[in-house]
Structure 1
Amino acid sequence: MRDNQAPKPIRRLDYRPPAFWVDSVALDFDIYGDLTRVRSRLCLRRNTAADAPADCVFDGEMLVIESLAVDGKTLSEQEYRYQGGQLALLSVPDKFVFESVVTIDPRSNTALEGLYVSKGMYCTQCEAEGFRRITFFPDRPDVLSRFTTTVRADKSRYPLLLSNGNPVAEGEEDGRHWVTWEDPFAKPCYLFALVAGDLACLEDTFTTTSGRSVKLRIYAEHHDLDKLDFAMDSLKRSMLWDEQVYGREYDLDIYMIVAVSHFNMGAMENKGLNIFNTSCVLAHPDTTTDQGYQRVEAVVAHEYFHNWSGNRVTCRDWFQLSLKEGFTVFRDQEFSADTHSRAVKRVEDVDMLRTIQFAEDGGPMAHPVRPDEYQKIDNFYTVTIYEKGAEVVRMQYNLLGPELFRKATDLYFSRFDGQAVTCDDFVDCMEEASGQDLSQFRRWYSQAGTPRLTATDQYSNGIYRLTLSQQTAPTPGQADKQPLMVPVSMALLDQSGQPLVLDADGATETVLILSDATQTFEFTLPEQPVPVLLRGFSAPVELRYPYSADQLALILAHDTDGYCRWDAAQRLGLEAIRRIIAGSDPLVEAEQLLSPWRQVLARAAEDPAGAALLLGLPSERALAEQFLPLDPRAIHLARTSLERALGRLLQADIEALLPTLVVSGPYRAEAADIGRRTLMQRCLALLASGEAAGLGSRLAQQFGSASNMTERLGALRLLVWHGLPQADQALKEFAARYAGEALVMDQWFAVQALVPGEQTVAVVERLMGHSAFEMTSPNRVRGLLGSFANGNPSAFHAADGSGYRLYADALARLDRLNPQVAARMANAFATLPRLAGDFQVNMRLAVQQLRDGECSANLAEVLDRLLQ
């Protein structure tokens, strides 16, 4: 759609069951030349439970019809109607076979939805509504069908032909070959997958608890074969974990993953044939950072866990998207926590939630975990659906406890196996298994916005009274908010930092359930305590409590909860930056932080990864949520000056610590080694901020001699971001060394896009003309433009508006190629209503000019919400 008119909203309450069921699907793909012929045979029957019209309507976009037939009879043009992306068969019987032959053009499909070509390989992406670009079908998640797929192609060019399920037949004819795949499990069409290409394969097997042997195959381009071992190891560990924790075994004879260069998302859980963005499956010490390894591990686990939480039990409609995504994110978070440091993992997840999802909740793009309406479902693959959805599941896990939660999920999987269900069905199982009333809790699914939890307290005559109040600000379409059920995990510390006993059983931690707008809780205590609230971040809320600097230092030094210690450190940094913006001397503020930071450095050996988190000031993006109106320049200058002062004051402490952080021996993506490398890079970043003498030479030496990408890229970043003399040469050497490694070159672009300062606008503009920049590659676009807009506020918010104009012009170009990615990247403008003065004027002008041009329906929906 490019007429600049927004499509009619789709509303959750307008849901109607499908008029027809599709019991079975037989597909035949004939890949030849630039086109692909798709033959489809659907066995349909009328849904007697639906108020179905006489006509049968299918979705279908960009399809060239060769023939249509019902029960073997070819249809004339008077017997069907094809317009507006829908095919209507007129007056069909209650049960019939529909056959169609269409041609499609995958090679020109730059939107990367449906069947498309990536570096000569045919592949698919059908979630959410891509299957309609392949053939005619009721493209909705509540129509589950059994698929049989035959793929035909030239054998020399496409020796590998894959689809869902198990291979059941194959053959050759005149230099061409074919393979037939049969999926024994009914699935919605969004889980369909096909791959045709020339790929290398890493094979292994996994034996399930019941003794079944499952073939495991991971495919990639031939030169990437040596980068698949870690993904395979992650897959096998994920399979074992899901058996042990959830009792879920894999159900097919074969499980496949294919790495694809051009992909709009991270990965896709298609039944038995997962298709991955290369960035989420390829891993090698020379090309992948520690963070990259952890992402591969988490995404492999996430997509595997979808086999049950998403595939075997799927969504009734797209409003229920968090049913599968929120639940599965929670599962992959727990897998990673069990594999590495639980405390560090929790802090990383909460940091992302508070920085990105809270901003979404508080801006024009706010929507509930279960939205009430949308124009384009592609725009609702958001951090609210995924990460806040995971927090909603986590709260249920904590309310029930591990045993009852497992009982509830067992009930959920057994009751709804092979069905398309809702978020309410999930909560019903929680209630039934536990006996708890979760009726108020369900508001977490329907109510948008981040609740503000305000805490006040009083101590007198041995009684400590803690009053908690909740309030959620209005969000678009939801002016009135109802109280939520908020679990608040807490402890109370004495003045020496030791936990106080809270009840007769000797407990030192408890969970308070806040269900009213305001409630007061009483404890009998020997002294005035320091409250430690939201331990483990027990609810996705914004906590307001007037902590003093001494109280925060006490929590940071003595509390045992990793999240609460990190939160205390963040609050100390925030208040220092707030005072600097108000006119305080950065050196004075840094000196106030010196004691707690030195304590962290002194204890760094206990948990290097945790120490690295505690030594980080709030990011500029996180700080943006704390100031209204938002002045990005003031935040940047204040934060930079504080980090510079800290780097100088702590130089001797850091220099003493650095030798203990050196990791020797071969690279290992293990928690202990990752923690030491992470703290090493954080310490070097502080030294660079403090302009330590001779650091450029040390970083250049690290860059040249590094045995892994974490250390090499870490050195490059600091050289470039701090404008050190060795930066230009290091950039040239890096590009020359990794010119053939697309994922590494994405990082090369990102490093330059993230250099602080308004001068980076011109650098990004120049890099968009670089021979290695591809607007058709989502990874490359996100590496350069996404890094610039989302990770470099001091450049994106250039005072003259040049950053906004550059980004808007780039999105206009991108939208013509890939509307889905363009719309998602437009969310970088979501700070619009919070900006101060000329920043808001300049951004609004850029966004309005973008909207006034030709826009896809995807991009138009986002821009209209931003401008309202």
Structure 2
Amino acid sequence: MTLEAKVNYLSEYQPCDFEVLSVNLLFELSASSTLVTNRMLIKRLASRSVSESENKLKLNGEGLVLKSVRLNGQLLSEAGFQVTQEHLFLSPEGDEFELEVVTEINPQANTALEGLYLSSGNFCTQCEAEGFRRITYFFDRPDVLSVYQTKIIADKQAYPVLLSNGNLIESGELADGRHFAIWHDPFKKPCYLFALIAGDLVSLEDQYFTADNRTIKLCIYTDPHHLPHCRHAMDSLIHAMRWDEQRFGLTYDLDTYMIVAVDDFNMGAMENKGLNIFNSKYVLADPQTATDVDYEGVEAVIAHEYFHNWTGNRVTCRDWFQLTLKEGLTVFRDQEFTADRLSPAVKRIEDVRRLRSHQFAEDAGPMSHPIQPQSYIEMNNFYTLTVYEKGAEVVRLYQTLLGKDGFRKGMDLYFARHDGQAVTVEDFRQAMADANQVDLDQMQAWYVQAGTPHLKVKAEYNAVNASIKIGFQQYLKADNSFSPFLIPFKIGFLNDQGETLYPEVAADYSSAVKLEGQDYVLKISQENQVFEFNGVSDKPQLSLLRGFSAPIIMEYQYSEKQLAFLACHDTDSFNRWESAQRLALMELMANIARFQAQQAYQLGAAYADLFETLVSQALNSDQADLALLAYSLTLPDLNYLIEQYDAVDIEALVSVHQQMKKSLAQKYETLLFEVYQKCLADQAYRYDKQQIAQRLMKNTALSYLSSLATDQIITRIKQQYDQQSNMTDIQAALQCLSNLTSPQTDSALAHFYDKYQDEPLVLDKWFSIQAASHREGVFETVQTLTAHPKFSYSNPNRVRSVIGVFCRQNILAFHRKDGAAYAWLAEQVLKLDEINPQVAARMLVPLMQWRRFDAKRQDLMRSELISLMANVQSKDVYELLEKSL
């Protein structure tokens, strides 16, 4: 098919010709025919010329039935306006006027879950990025800010709870069994932050006393069945409010803060002013239904959406090209919050693992784009790991360059200058620069250049001069004409006993180096740059890129001996983990080469010895950070391994990865079992870093042991499944069993389903575990799962739990040689494209990597993409197909 796909360019941005002084909305709710009356007071901006073309008012609208238009109270005939598929045009007289538009919409038929829709019988909205135009005609752009008042009318018995943004100013009953509520938001906001909820909901309530002595009412709304699972979310909200006051001096501004959990939601959550709407996955948690990872996810997302109140709501984006201004900044803030709540070292590892396994792949694929995209067809496609996760890393660069105090000064100036405004990434950078009186113009390269920067590092030690020179060369793999990045590079120097050394920075380089604690921060700003350090009597051990101080790929020729040393002795905890990962990666890649040469697998001595040392540390030290050790013992995941190759040999990578895990388990079975036994704890579940670390280490050991698949080990796994009362340990056992061909596997899966079939979020785990299984016939299993009575194409969580997990995580089964899974995924994308284009586009991504594989697989994947190109209906999927092909 040929879609009319308009490309939007940052370079073509023009401010709106009009200001909306106020918006008064009236919703008369009905499942299939909701009436929306939108009364706006609009002012022409005096700074804009009033030519005939600019005199025309152009409002966005999609899928609306227009009932009437009134201008200054006068009903307009059809000759007084023009309606197209996507716009309403008028030519009003005067500089200030009142416009009333009445539209009719069908929430029940809205399976795209954008605008106003029904979720489990409740009305719900999602307006970011461009969903408000599906509710009423409006300037659907983030730089048009206005004050909103919303009146909701609905049947009282069916929808006893009526919520919108701001503060409740009036409510009451009507004579016909309906009731109403009027909400007023005193803070100007763009329409993407509008929210409405109406339904049969109950709430968990609490309160928070702010630093400026106000009492905030806190409410979490959900279905009655879910209410007992909301306490952790409420505690997380209170912790986030306190942390934001202490860390950034930011206090909540309304009288009430509301969160609503819904089952059908495209995103994780949405920060609508005062009324956050959440995917229930990120609200509901208790030990019997949620894992440690789920608990951390709830806490992080609750905090993220709360932090948006300032970084996104009070200061918002001028246009959607600035999305990382709010999302990258707020991800950084939620990362810092979780680090302070749990373990900074472990949190940093988790964030870098996700970045390198998934965002680096995005940077290397057809959807590669800068954190500030320069163009788009469908904005929904740019809610990406690049904008969010890499965007957060770029914000972290400011803190690394300026220090925590300098970063706080920059944030204070940013809010003082721009509160109540729609601004750009340049405004943020300028606030950081002006607050610290430094030049940060070179940071622009991080915003406008796509791809992951590579940094080659070489060190030359001069024993005669007792000095060491460290040289850097930065480049982008796909671009020879790049502008050099400003890279803060943390480095440490150790002697052979693991003690920190403090060499003197040579005078010529001192302006580009600062010492912070045990770290030297080198400011790399040129394509080729050298730093020299003096007073180094013996050749030091170099600890490079400490704390992953920049989102780059570092190229340095470490020896196995150096990595083994750093993995045990580095004073930087991140680099202890990183060194173990690098050594494991060297081991994996050496054996992949052997596999391709049809040679037998060999477990190298260097990594085997390190693995034994790490397991022994876990066994013998009560003071060791078990979570750090567990991550150090975990092999690099397959997605990260794939990123090491331009051409991917699927069979080689998967086979070697599995063989290495099994070889380590065979060699250290006794030690691993001892660690497992040590970490078994008969105690009530607590979500704290000690217990989390204990469970993580125990289940890491169990995962290794499960690869041996002996009767004794299978029995032990089944015992954990049967005896544990917390979902973390139950899920870990079930995941181990799911990869084994055993009657115990089938009985555990059947038991899990019977027990949790009425818990949607837990049932997602049941679907996901089977979709990720390495057992024979998993592709056929996945096909039956999409036909299961509990599977629904209209629920994004359920789609992600089956189709998403299978195609992204089950790498060998998805890339089967006959291409059957490729054809199946194409069918799923086409089906989803008619139901929910946003979800369809997300599911397409694994096919977009077709250039990475062998010729036969390339042909099979590409043919499916071409077939889809001829049949898709949405801009969401069309844009990705166009970029892929």
Give the TM-score band, short-chain normalised: over 0.9
User: 3-state DSSP class of the match of 1:771?
Assistant: coil
Instruction: Give the superposition deviation at 1:586.
Output: 6.7
Residue 98 (structure 2) aligns with: 97
Distance 1:743 1:866 in 2: 33
Residue 503 (structure 1) aligns with: 504
- The counterpart of 1:739, out of the listed 753, 757, 767, is 757
Q: Does 1:558 align with 2:581?
A: no
Of 564-573 and 107-116, the range deviating more from structure 2: 564-573
Residue 467 (structure 2) aligns with: 463
- The counterpart of 1:518, out of the listed 510, 528, 537, is 528
Of 756-765 and 833-842, the range deviating more from structure 2: 756-765
One-letter code of the match for 1:463?
Answer: S
| Residues 726-784 of structure 1 deviation map (CA, whole Å, 9 limit, x = unaligned) | 00011111011001000011111100000126732111111111111100000000000
Residue 391 (structure 1) aligns with: 393
C-alpha spacing 1:696/1:454, structure 2 compared with 1 (3 Å) = same
| Residues 156-210 of structure 1 deviation map (CA, whole Å, 9 limit, x = unaligned) | 0000000000000111112110000000001000000000000110000000011
Distance 1:427 1:829 in 2: 37
| Residues 688-721 of structure 1 deviation map (CA, whole Å, 9 limit, x = unaligned) | 1133441111111211221111111111111112
Distance 1:509 1:837 in 2: 47
User: Is the contact between residue 16 and residue 50 of structure 1 (CA under 8 Å) also seen in structure 2?
Assistant: no
Distance 2:776 2:254 in 1: 54
Residue 427 (structure 1) aligns with: 429
C-alpha spacing 1:332/1:821, structure 2 compared with 1 (3 Å) = same
Residue 510 (structure 2) aligns with: none
C-alpha spacing 1:4/1:726, structure 2 compared with 1 (3 Å) = farther
User: 3-state DSSP class of the match of 1:148?
Assistant: strand
After TM superposition, the structure 1 = structure 2 runs for residues 66-145 of structure 1, keeping only pairs within 5 Å, are 66-145=67-146
Distance 2:817 2:310 in 1: 50
Q: Unpaired runs of 5+ in structure 2?
A: 506-514
Residue 223 (structure 2) aligns with: 221
Distance 1:33 1:391 in 2: 43
Residue 710 (structure 1) aligns with: 728
Of 454-463 and 657-666, the range deviating more from structure 2: 657-666
One-letter code of the match for 1:560?
Answer: T
After TM superposition, the structure 1 = structure 2 runs for residues 22-101 of structure 1, keeping only pairs within 5 Å, are 22-51=20-49, 53-101=54-102
After TM superposition, the structure 1 = structure 2 runs for residues 158-173 of structure 1, keeping only pairs within 5 Å, are 158-173=159-174
Residue 580 (structure 1) aligns with: 591
Residue 509 (structure 2) aligns with: none
User: Is the contact between residue 590 and residue 642 of structure 1 (CA under 8 Å) also seen in structure 2?
Assistant: no
Instruction: Give the superposition deviation at 1:502.
Output: 2.0
Of 496-505 and 709-718, the range deviating more from structure 2: 496-505
- The counterpart of 2:335, out of the listed 318, 333, 336, is 333
Residue 299 (structure 2) aligns with: 297
| Residues 661-714 of structure 1 deviation map (CA, whole Å, 9 limit, x = unaligned) | 123322111111111111111100000113344111111121122111111111
User: Is the contact between residue 495 and residue 530 of structure 1 (CA under 8 Å) also seen in structure 2?
Assistant: yes
User: 3-state DSSP class of the match of 1:839?
Assistant: helix
Residue 508 (structure 2) aligns with: none
Instruction: Give the superposition deviation at 1:789.
Output: 1.1
Residue 367 (structure 1) aligns with: 369
One-letter code of the match for 2:530?
Answer: T
Instruction: Give the superposition deviation at 1:723.
Output: 2.6
One-letter code of the match for 1:373?
Answer: S
Instruction: Give the superposition deviation at 1:589.
Output: 1.8
User: 3-state DSSP class of the match of 1:694?
Assistant: helix
Distance 1:738 1:508 in 2: 50
CA RMSD of aligned residues (A): 1.4
User: Is the contact between residue 601 and residue 656 of structure 2 (CA under 8 Å) also seen in structure 1?
Assistant: no
Q: Unpaired runs of 5+ in structure 1?
A: none
Distance 1:844 1:865 in 2: 12
Instruction: Give the superposition deviation at 1:381.
Output: 0.2
After TM superposition, the structure 1 = structure 2 runs for residues 513-552 of structure 1, keeping only pairs within 5 Å, are 513-524=523-534, 525-552=536-563
Instruction: Give the superposition deviation at 1:93.
Output: 2.6
User: Is the contact between residue 819 and residue 858 of structure 1 (CA under 8 Å) also seen in structure 2?
Assistant: yes
User: 3-state DSSP class of the match of 2:500?
Assistant: coil
One-letter code of the match for 1:195?
Answer: I
Residue 482 (structure 1) aligns with: 483
User: Is the contact between residue 594 and residue 601 of structure 2 (CA under 8 Å) also seen in structure 1?
Assistant: no
Residue 380 (structure 1) aligns with: 382
Residue 649 (structure 1) aligns with: 667
| Residues 474-524 of structure 1 deviation map (CA, whole Å, 9 limit, x = unaligned) | 36xxx7311111111001222333322222889642011111111111112
Q: Does 1:685 align with 2:727?
A: no
Distance 1:105 1:488 in 2: 54
One-letter code of the match for 1:542?
Answer: I
Of 569-578 and 589-598, the range deviating more from structure 2: 589-598
Distance 2:848 2:60 in 1: 32
One-letter code of the match for 1:465?
Answer: K
Distance 1:309 1:507 in 2: 30
Residue 254 (structure 1) aligns with: 256
Distance 1:125 1:721 in 2: 38
Identity of aligned residues (%): 44
User: Is the contact between residue 36 and residue 102 of structure 2 (CA under 8 Å) also seen in structure 1?
Assistant: yes
User: 3-state DSSP class of the match of 2:88?
Assistant: strand
Q: Does 1:794 align with 2:812?
A: yes
Distance 1:609 1:690 in 2: 23
C-alpha spacing 1:799/1:281, structure 2 compared with 1 (3 Å) = same
Residue 18 (structure 1) aligns with: 16
Instruction: Give the superposition deviation at 1:529.
Output: 2.1
Residue 473 (structure 1) aligns with: 477
One-letter code of the match for 1:609?
Answer: A
| Residues 56-88 of structure 1 deviation map (CA, whole Å, 9 limit, x = unaligned) | 110011111111000001111111111031000
Distance 2:485 2:852 in 1: 26
User: Is the contact between residue 347 and residue 562 of structure 1 (CA under 8 Å) also seen in structure 2?
Assistant: no
Instruction: Give the superposition deviation at 1:821.
Output: 1.2
Instruction: Give the superposition deviation at 1:611.
Output: 1.1
User: 3-state DSSP class of the match of 1:37?
Assistant: strand
Residue 311 (structure 1) aligns with: 313
C-alpha spacing 1:56/1:406, structure 2 compared with 1 (3 Å) = same
Distance 2:518 2:690 in 1: 30
Of 524-533 and 124-133, the range deviating more from structure 2: 524-533
User: Is the contact between residue 4 and residue 860 of structure 1 (CA under 8 Å) also seen in structure 2?
Assistant: no
Instruction: Give the superposition deviation at 1:660.
Output: 1.9
| Residues 394-431 of structure 1 deviation map (CA, whole Å, 9 limit, x = unaligned) | 00011111111111101111110100000000000000
Instruction: Give the superposition deviation at 1:829.
Output: 2.3
One-letter code of the match for 1:522?
Answer: E
User: Is the contact between residue 561 and residue 606 of structure 2 (CA under 8 Å) also seen in structure 1?
Assistant: no
Of 834-843 and 384-393, the range deviating more from structure 2: 834-843
Distance 2:852 2:576 in 1: 29
Residue 212 (structure 1) aligns with: 214
Distance 2:333 2:384 in 1: 18
Q: Does 1:616 align with 2:630?
A: no
Distance 1:351 1:51 in 2: 52
Distance 1:847 1:56 in 2: 40
Instruction: Give the superposition deviation at 1:587.
Output: 5.8
Residue 824 (structure 1) aligns with: 842
| Residues 245-278 of structure 1 deviation map (CA, whole Å, 9 limit, x = unaligned) | 0000000000000000000000000000000000
Of 128-137 and 26-35, the range deviating more from structure 2: 26-35
Residue 862 (structure 1) aligns with: 880
One-letter code of the match for 2:472?
Answer: L
Distance 2:702 2:858 in 1: 36
Distance 2:557 2:306 in 1: 44
Of 189-198 and 570-579, the range deviating more from structure 2: 570-579
One-letter code of the match for 2:257?
Answer: Y
Residue 726 (structure 1) aligns with: 744
User: 3-state DSSP class of the match of 1:734?
Assistant: helix
One-letter code of the match for 2:774?
Answer: P
User: Is the contact between residue 161 and residue 179 of structure 1 (CA under 8 Å) also seen in structure 2?
Assistant: yes
Instruction: Give the superposition deviation at 1:807.
Output: 1.0
Q: Does 1:664 align with 2:674?
A: no
- The counterpart of 2:858, out of the listed 813, 816, 840, is 840
Instruction: Give the superposition deviation at 1:386.
Output: 0.3
Distance 1:832 1:448 in 2: 20
One-letter code of the match for 1:531?
Answer: L
